Amino acid sequence: MFYADLKHFKAKTGYEINGIWYPRVTSIVSIKAKPALYKFYADQGNFSMAESIKSKSADEGTLIHETIEAILTEKPVAVPHPIQPAINAFLEFKKKNEIVPMKIEERVVSKNHWYAGTVDVIGKLNGQLGILDIKTSYSIYRDYGLQTAAYVEAVKENNIFPTTRWVLRIDQAKECTKCGAKMREKGGNIKVRGGTVSCQHSFGETVGEIELKELDNFESDIKAFLACRNLWEWEHDFWIKKIKNGSSPI
């Protein structure tokens, strides 16, 4: 990534909160190599095509996020048609589980470790206090442990003590009625996974999918996140020095 100047670097990689600039959790964890992402780029065969799919797919993810957050805050919301199946899956989940949000889209700061981030939900799920991260990915990746551990650590500094972390994965796909293969269409990228290769697929309606995973091993995840943070600082040494030595408040 090329940064034109300090202002550009700060805007792309962090937040300014009460006059102090902090690196963003998502920027910090992006320092870690992501083999699955490289495979995705290789599969697209074309960098700009892959970028376009990624950004459209991120837009859909944002729409799902915003809609769910509106539902949780009990705001009236018109569900956009293309994401209706995913939202239905969430509403079904909400009926079966008691979600009591305390904070939604909450900006959290770790002054001890110098980073900030935005937590989707801090609240109680079936009576247990935790943080909930909503993902619209194909599966629940191990890397999510780093991000969510960082949020927990920051939340604790603000005297809220979550006892656990969850990832709630929400997605939608069409299923083959013959072999069970699943077809996802995200950002114009059509991908068929599972099922039988020789099958002449017959795909049905788009159906929502929802999966809740509680993450354990907090100690190991926070250690790994803080290692990422140190590496992030090393990688961006050029800009960090400017920030730390600058006459303007950091």
For Zn ion, the binding residues (CB under 5 A) are 176, 178-179, 181, 195, 199, 201
Beta bridge partners of 206: 174
What's the token pair of residue 156? 């604790």
CA 238/CA 212 separation, integer angstroms: 40
Query: Cβ of residue 202: shortest distance to Zn ion, in angstroms?
Result: 7
Q: Which is nearer to Zn ion, 32 or 201 (CB)?
A: 201
Q: Which is nearer to Zn ion, 131 or 183 (CB)?
A: 183
Query: Cβ of residue 191: shortest distance to Zn ion, in angstroms?
Result: 14
**Alpha helix (H) residue ranges in the chain:** 6-13, 25-29, 35-44, 47-72, 84-96, 144-157, 218-235, 237-245
For residue 185, give the H/E element and its range.
strand 182-186
Query: Cβ of residue 171: shortest distance to Zn ion, in angstroms?
Result: 19
Q: Which is nearer to Zn ion, 204 or 249 (CB)?
A: 204
CA distances from 186 to 46, 50, 141, 173, 243 (A): 17, 12, 18, 10, 38
Query: Cβ of residue 1: shortest distance to Zn ion, in angstroms?
Result: 41
Q: Which is nearer to Zn ion, 4 or 190 (CB)?
A: 190
